[in-house]
Amino acid sequence: MARPRVLSGIQPTADSFHLGNYLGAVRQWVTLQETHDAFYCVVDLHAITVPTEPAALRRRTRVAAAQLFAAGLDPERSTVFVQSHVREHAELAWILTCQTGMGEAARMTQFKDKSARYGESAASVGLFTYPILQAADILLYQADSVPVGADQKQHLELTRDLGQRFNHRFGDTFTIPEPYILKEVEKITDLQDPSAKMSKSSSSPAGILDVLEQPGPLRKKIMRAVTDTETEIRFDEENKPGISNLLRIQSALTGTPIPDLVARYAGQGYGTFKKEVAEAVVDAFAPIRERTEKLLGDEAELDRMLAVGAERARAVAGRTMAEVRDRVGFLPTS
């Protein structure tokens, strides 16, 4: 039997992935390629929903793709591609936009959060319709499941609704995908504000661990991570969010269960603990950074790898779109 298909996307909006992206998405994508027919895209069409410099977009798209390969996505097994290389994404997004109610789109909470940063009327219509483009990404590939963080649940619900609606109105066309919510334990918070998720829009660079960062600054940030005034190392999300976050990081990177770590550090100070967390982070990131730098050093080769991915993606997306076009009543092109 064919392997179930997964599809996921990541935005090229930073010059490096951070630890939250790595543990919460990228590393689990790598695992999924063992058991699934995997499609992963760098979603540059989504990136331009907010003001974006062309040169930065170009650089960040390559950096994102290089990190995906460097983290272990194997171009032989996984289809890694750039969203804008497959024109069908924008085309299907338009058709789905015409199946989406204004009220339905207006209920998407991420728009409210993101547009608050610009002022709602300054935000682009693209930011408003962002979840519909995401639905197109998923439905085009007939994905069975979509590995995403819990914050994407609402977008997945919309995707399912739009897929079902289309199937109902025009006939069975799309696989209705299941969300594959990535592990909660790997939710990583900001080092300077442990109540907030680690994210590029968070407190300050000091709160974020970047995959492509050098060992020195990585160690420094971890040593300076906000903890609490106690001395005991234990997992207590509510009273000790900083220590709990470091335990989660250490556990996720070394594979040692949190209770074993707590036992190991009994009677030890925060300093020793933090040093070991820092080593775990450096050990995980250094090889990825080195491979990323190598890939970025040969842009022609990286672009060629992405062209191969785009071609494979286009084959699938093209098949879906041919059916969609016919079902909605567009005339065949000659």
Residue 253's Cβ-count burial label (10 Å; 0-12, 13-18, 19+) is buried
Token pair listed for 104: 């339905």
Binding to ligand TRP by residue 79, rule CB under 6 A?
Answer: no
Binding to ligand TRP by residue 148, rule CB under 6 A?
Answer: yes
187, 197, 221, 294: the active-site residue: 197
Residue 29 or residue 265: which is nearer to ligand TRP going by CB? Answer: 29
CA distance 211 to 262: 26
114, 187, 221, 240: the active-site residue: 114
Residue 39's Cβ-count burial label (10 Å; 0-12, 13-18, 19+) is buried
Residue 109 or residue 214: which is nearer to ligand TRP going by CB? Answer: 109
Interface residue with ligand TRP, options 37, 44, 88, 137 (CB under 6 A): 137
The residue count for the chain: 334
Binding to ligand TRP by residue 11, rule CB under 6 A?
Answer: yes
Residue 153 known to bind ligand: no
CA distance 320 to 167: 13
Q: Find, among 250, 258, 36, 246, the residue nearest to 141 by Cα.
A: 36
Interface residue with ligand TRP, options 5, 6, 9, 276 (CB under 6 A): 9
CA distance 63 to 15: 7
CB of 134 to ligand TRP, least distance (A): 4
153, 183, 200, 275: the active-site residue: 200
Quick check: is 114 catalytic?
A: yes
Where does this chain bind ligand TRP (CB under 6 A)? 7-9, 11, 43, 46, 134, 137-138, 146, 148, 152, 155
Annotated binding site for L-tryptophan: 137
The catalytic residues are: 114, 197, 200
